[in-house]
Structures are given as C-alpha cells and as structure tokens.
Amino acid sequence: QQLCTRTNPSTRSSDNNDDSSGISPMERLDSELGLCYTFLKLDERNFHCWNYRRYIVGIKAAMLSSEGNHNNNDQVDGSFTVDGTAAAGGGILLDESELIMGAQIVSPNRNEIETSGSGTNAGKGADDNDDSKQKIKDLLQSEWDFSHTKIEENFSNCSAFHYRSELLPLFFMEEADSLIQDELELVQNAIFTEPDDQTVWWYHRFLLDFASKHLPNDEFQNNILENEHELLAELVEEANGHCKWGLLALHMICTYQLKAIQEDADEGSISQKKEELNSYLDQLVQLDPDRKLRYATMKKV
C-alpha cells in the first residue's frame, strides 16, 4: 500500500484502505500523518491526501480527548466511519474533531460521555484533562503551521487554504483581534503576487464573511473593510482595471458597507455607494462579457 501511494500519491483507494495491524492507534495515526507529509511534498495540491490528512487529524483529536477511555489494545479499525455513523467502540468526539471533519467521524457514546459528570470519568484529575487539551492544541497548531508552510510554497494551493478555513474557527476565540488581520496579510501577499489566481480570492471572501459574523461591527467596518477597500482599489488601479477578482472583491466590500449605512446614512451617501457598486459591475461587463448576464442580475439585487 505504501509503495503504491509513493509511486502515485494521488491514489485515493490506497488512502481509504490502509489496514496495518500490530501497532497502537496513536502510532498508526502518526505514521499516516508522516505518509501524508511525504505525499504532499511530492504533490502539495493533492486534495485526496489533504482530505485524508484532515480525516486522520480529526480521529487523533477525538482520541486525545479520551485517552483515559482507550486501552492499549484499541485499534482504529473502522470504529470511525466515513458515512456519518459509527461502529461499536468508537471514541469520544470533541468539538475540535467535529469542526475538522464534520459528520465524517461521530461517536455513539458522545451524549453519554458529555453528560457523565459523576460517572467513572469524574475521578480523572484536572491535570489529565489539561494535558489532553494541551496535546490537542499542539496538534492543531502544528496543522495550522503546516498549512501556512504549504501556502507559502504555492499560493495556488486551494486544498491548503480550504484546510486553513476549517482550522481557523478553533483559533479564533483566543486570538480574535489579530488572527483575521494576520490572515488577510497572508492573502494580500498572495494577491499582489498573482492577482489572477482565483484560489486566494476564495479564501479572501471566506475571511470577510467570517469576520462579518464574528467581529464587532465597528471593528469590521472601520478596520477590516476600509483597509481592504483601500488596498484592493490600489491593486485594481495598478492593473488599469484589468483585475476581475479585485473588482468582485471591491463589489463585495461595498455591499457590506452599503448594508451598514442603509439605516442611518442620508440618501446622498447611500446613492453614492450604489453608484460605486454599479461602477464595478460595469467594469466587469467590459472585462468579462461572457458573464454579463450575471453582472446584470447582481445590479438588480
């Protein structure tokens, strides 16, 4: 199986059929992560491997959260399934693993364990719990750093950006003030390097949508949107207007700004913002005539 995947790291069936035996679950998971690292060195955009890595990390996070409930004879042998169900003997599902993998890993004992405040697990000390949390935090931090490295190696790595979007909510609560700004700076470096690559624009759109839902409105409007508007207007100007993704991003930013001022601003300010929105769409019609009907529809919204 390893020979097959080394020969062709995009071999999806091999990722789905690793049935090694005779080693502990954690050793097996660490081995699989090592293989993923090797395969992603050969092909950093291999989405099959990124999805498998996400799957392995999700399982490992769930197992780390329940180290006291696993014994040395436990094996990751199908207890965690990929169809939204779980076989007997599945582990505990933490929020971390759920966010990483969604319904791909679930635990049949989750409700029982989460509500067992006075059961057999209640006697486990706070130190054990803190140790497990730290291990999970270290695991997720290593994945966060790994995705950053892969993005810096290749700004067109859509799989790495997608993985980062899955991890970001896990770090946001502790670093809300700086995290979005840091991520936007990463995006800006990529945008100004290759403005026609739609990969990074997808992540830019994700970040603005995430920030609009989780940051205070004043901070989002005054810090995030104004800064992004200024930078992207500069980018589009340098390209003499020939930057489709920059124009779409400016349209999105102005849409957020228009929604924010509609209740309090005077008619003149609202009309001016609408004119700006339409000007971007008019430029897009000229630049991208194959989608002129889409832009005409956007004008009506």
- The predicted-structure confidence for 15-54, as pLDDT tens digits, reads as follows 455 555 567 888 899 999 999 989 888 888 888 899 999 9
For residue 100, what pLDDT is reported? 55
Most confident of 73-82, 142-151, 264-273: 142-151
- Tell me how crowded residue 68 is: count the other CB atoms within 10 A of its CB: 15
pLDDT of residue 243 exceeding 90, the answer is yes
For residue 81, what pLDDT is reported? 33
For residue 266, what pLDDT is reported? 80
Nearest partner of 98 among 136, 44, 41, 46, judged by Cα = 136
Q: Bridge partners of 52?
A: none
For residue 170, what pLDDT is reported? 84
* CB proximity list for 291: less than 8 A, separation 6 or greater: 284
pLDDT of residue 108 exceeding 50, the answer is no
b/e map of 23-54 (b: 16 or more CB within 10 Å)? Answer: eebbebbeebbebbeebbeeebbbbbbbbbbb
- When mean pLDDT is compared across 4-18, 58-72, 200-214, 223-237, the lowest value belongs to 4-18
Predicted model pTM: 0.74
For residue 275, what pLDDT is reported? 95
For residue 65, what pLDDT is reported? 80
Better-scored residue on pLDDT, 254 or 268: 254
At 74, the amino acid letter reads D
pLDDT of residue 205 exceeding 90, the answer is yes
Q: For 211-229, how does the pLDDT look when each residue is reduced to its tens digit (9 = 90+)?
A: 999 999 999 999 999 999 9
- When mean pLDDT is compared across 46-60, 88-102, 119-133, 161-175, the lowest value belongs to 88-102
